[in-house]
Amino acid sequence: MDLVLKTKTALVSGASIGIGRAIAKLLALEGVRVVAVARRRELLDQLAEEVKAQGGTAIVPLVQDIMQADAAARLAAAAIETVGHIDILVNNAGGSRPLPVDAPDSAWDEALTLNFTRYRQVTHALLPQMIARKWGRIINVTGKSEPEGLNAAFAAKAAVHAWAKGLSREVGEHGITINCIPPGRIMSEQIRRNYPENYRKRFAEEEIPVGYWGEPEDLAVLAVFLASPRARYITGAVIPVDGGLRRYQF
């Protein structure tokens, strides 16, 4: 299927490793001009070289710490200056934040800023030019809805789901869609560091219907489809990529 992406531009945050890297790479291989954002320049440069070697569209590295003040506005402005406009926004930067019951407000503020507020701010900074062009795609990589304990990131990702659903009703008339993808057990540096192989094997056998942990590319294929003109009638949705891990029916 031709995804009709060759004339599009994209901004992908958290693009140096894992899911963000896989999405940025696959978009570039589909012909999208990608601004790849992360804190580690060397990893972004490696990604750009890898894509170039495989014949993809050039990836433009952009080093940015999204936790800095004014990060959202500066990020949106830099991306537009780099490629002219942004058609596709992939909000991916974030991280788990398990907290004790007596955690200070500062810990909650940090988690909510990283996992919700920056998503909202970057999106709203880029929306005017999407509305002016009458086209846009916003994809949020979020989190699971079955928290096993107190984790500020879960609360923040739930906020993303609610915000995105509401926003989808406001911007649909402008040709803009917004969707969320909560990943299941997707392999990453953090997963390999925190979960030994024997645990991963046992967990997959007992909990994941397909029997194995996913790879970043398993999620990236959905993100790239949702970013395409072909996915014009999908918006306000939350679509898990988890090998059947989740147990709820809707």
Give the Å distances, CA to CA, from 16 to 1, 35, 60, 80, 246.
Answer: 28, 11, 12, 20, 28
pLDDT band at 250 (very low <50, low <70, confident <90, very high): low
Order across the sheet with 9-13: list the strands: 59-63, 33-38, 9-13, 88-91, 136-141, 176-181
| Strands, E assignment, 16-58 | 33-38
Domain boundaries, the chain: 9-231
User: 112 pLDDT exceeds 90?
Assistant: yes
Q: How many CB atoms lie within 10 A of CB 91?
A: 28
For 50-104, how does the pLDDT look when each residue is reduced to its tens digit (9 = 90+)? Answer: 999 999 998 999 998 888 888 999 999 999 999 999 999 999 988 889 899 999 9
Which CATH fold topology does 9-231 show?
A: Rossmann fold (3.40.50)
Average pLDDT, stretch 5-17? 96
Percent of residues, the chain, with pLDDT higher than 90: 86
